[in-house]
Amino acid sequence: MKNRTGLLVLAGLAVVAGLFVLLRPPVEEELPRPGVFELWIADGRLASGPDVIRVRQGDVVTVQVTSDRNDELHVHGYDLHARLSADTPAPLRFTADRSGRFAIELHKAQVEVSVLEVLPR
**1-10, 21-30, 40-49: which has the minimum mean pLDDT?**
21-30
Q: What is the pTM of this model?
A: 0.70
CA distance linking residue 107 with residue 33, whole number of Å:
27
- Average model confidence (pLDDT) across the chain: 86
Report in angstroms the alpha-carbon separations of 88 from 28, 33, 40, 68, 107.
38, 26, 11, 8, 17
Assign a CATH topology to domain 35-119.
Answer: Immunoglobulin-like (2.60.40)
**Proportion of the chain in helix, strand, coil states, percent, rounded to 5:** 20, 45, 35
Percentage of the residues of the chain whose pLDDT score is greater than 70: 76
- Of the pLDDT bands very low, low, confident and very high (cuts 50, 70, 90), residue 13 is low
CA distance linking residue 92 with residue 116, whole number of Å:
13
CA distance linking residue 68 with residue 40, whole number of Å:
8
pLDDT of res. 46: 95
**What sign results for the dihedral spanned by CA atoms 112, 115, 116, 119?**
positive
